[in-house]
Structure formats: C-alpha cells, structure tokens
Amino acid sequence: MLRSEIQSKTGLTRKAIEYYEKKGLINPIKLENGYKDYNEEDFEILSKVNLFRKIGFNISEIKSIIRSDGFVLPSILRNREHQSEIDERKNEVIKLIIEGASEKIIDEKIALIEREESIYDRLLRAFPGYFGQVIFYAYQPFLNEQLDKEGEVAYAKYIDYLDKLPSFELSLEEQDYIEKIGSDFDIENMKMVNNSKIEAMDDFKKWLDENIEIIEQYNLYKESDTYQNSPLKYIQDKLKNYMIENRYYELAIPLLREFSKSYNDYYEKLLVANEEYLKANRKAEKD
C-alpha cells in the first residue's frame, strides 16, 4: 500500500505517519521510485496507534503495548487509575485551602498523598532544581514505584547522604543549558529513552544485534569533536568526577538498590549485559 492509501484507511495525516515511522513503530519498504510500501502489519499498527492516541496514550506507552501484544495494558491502566486517584486527592486539598480548612486537616490529607507518591516524585521534591535533575534523570524509569516499608531505612540514608554532599557547582550558563535540555527533551522522549534501556536488559543479545549500527554511530559521535567540545560532555564529566570524589557508586548505589526493586533487577541484568558487550567488542577487535 502507498501512503495515500494508508492515510485514507486510517485517517492519519502524512506528518503523523512520518512521525510514527521515525519513532520506530512501523518500517515500510522504500521502493526504487522513492515511494514507500506499507504492508498489512504497518496498517494494523497504525490503526492501533490511532486508537490509543485518541484515548490519551503517549508514544512510549503505545510502543510498549504493541511490542507486548497488549500484555502491558492492564499495568498501564492501573498506573493511570492510581495517578487519577492522587490528582483527585490533590484537588480535594485545593478545595480545603479555598474553604479555609484548618492546618491539621490539610496536613492529614497531604500525608495521605505523600504515601501514594512515587519515589521519583519524592526525590525531586526533596532536591528541586538542577541538582535533582542531573542526579535522578537516569534512574527515572526505576523510581515510579512507591516506597515500601522495607525500603524506608535505605531511602532515609540515601536522602541523608545526598543532603550532606558538597554543592555540585554549575555556572549560570550550564544551569541554563540543563534547563533547556529539560524543556526541549520532554517527558515523553525521556520515557522512551529510559524504556529502551529496560528493553535492552530484557534481551541484551537481541537488542545488540538489532541496534549494532546505531551503537557504532553513537560511539563515533562520542569520539567526535562536536561532542568532545560540547557543554553536555563537560557537564557529564564534571558530574562523573563529582560522584567519584564523593563515592556515590560505592555508598549511594547500594542504597538505591535496596529501596528500588526495579532498579536492583535492572542493575543485576546490567552486570550480565556489560560482560556480553565486552565480549562482543573483544570479538569485533579480533575480527
């Protein structure tokens, strides 16, 4: 099928179809004449994408639904229902403030909300500004769970450790750069990148085979003058040195693994994947 036929059948715009292709949801074949040939699977996927977009799913969620053949839908629904309940409780607090309720009543309502918050939201509230952004950014997909009683002690130690660290100093220009990245690289894109990390760990060999060209291009970019002289590289190096100097990997990571079960699972898979990656590199060098 040509794109015009796909547009007619799905009601999607040309730009929407191009966007979903760019996001890796479909992979039409490019013909010799320059046109793209969309098969029946592409049509079915785009139909599903169109449906899920109409009911408010973001691209990251849709990608997970399609790749799991709908298996993750119940989990997404539970998360949405949970978030809806939290939002409703927040609205109740706003109404109480408007009505002039007592501080005690408001504090009780707030305590209930805090218990339902994700670990990520709690951490960002504890450490607002660029410090929280740079520290927790990479861990976001593993911190969406709630803090359970077993993890409370480790969480408190983690907070105490971070709070006692010396300031992580960035210039005003660097702070502006971090904020600009945060605004340009929106939450949905962040979720997609982070979800790809989790997918890679679930079947690293398959992920490595499917993304070998992208990895090679990424490695070349990391070695290029453009990246080596970029503000991002400078900030990343500064953060890495800051973490090493303050023994973050030795002191904080074990605590993080204690209060985030999903991060601990990821960490254990990462150790295995890292060994596989090193083996692949050694093999490539020999070849």
Listed residues 85, 116, 147: the one ending a domain? 116
Q: pTM score, two decimals?
A: 0.60
64 with 80, same domain: the answer is: no
pLDDT at 218: 62
Predicted confidence (pLDDT) at residue 28 exceeds the cutoff of 70 = yes
SS3 (DSSP) at 18? helix
224 with 255, same domain: the answer is: yes
20 with 154, same domain: the answer is: no
- In 3D, which of 251, 102, 232, 88 has the Cα closest to residue 165? 251
Phi, psi torsion values for 31, nearest 5 degrees: -80, 165
Which residues are CB-contacts of 179 (< 8 A; sequence separation ≥ 6)? 130, 133
Q: Encode 221-260: b = buried (16+ Cβ within 10 Å), e = exposed.
A: eeeeeeeeeeeeeebeeeeeebbeebebeeebbebbbbbb
pLDDT band of residue 42 (cuts 50, 70, 90) is: very high
Alpha carbons within 13 A on the beta-carbon side of 26: 26
pLDDT at 59: 83
30 with 99, same domain: the answer is: no
Average pLDDT over residues 61-82: 81
From CA 120, how far away is CA 124, in angstroms rounded?
Answer: 6
Q: Using one digit for the tens of pLDDT, what is the confidence trace for 140-172?
A: 778 888 899 999 999 999 999 999 999 888 888
pLDDT at 185: 44
Predicted confidence (pLDDT) at residue 193 exceeds the cutoff of 60 = no
Listed residues 81, 116, 151: the one ending a domain? 116
140 with 281, same domain: the answer is: yes
Domain that holds residue 259: 118-286
Number of domains in the chain: 3
45 with 137, same domain: the answer is: no
pLDDT at 245: 96
Rg from Cα positions in the chain = 23
pLDDT at 246: 96
Average pLDDT over residues 216-240: 78
136 with 268, same domain: the answer is: yes
Predicted confidence (pLDDT) at residue 247 exceeds the cutoff of 60 = yes
pLDDT at 49: 92
Predicted confidence (pLDDT) at residue 222 exceeds the cutoff of 90 = no
pLDDT at 156: 95
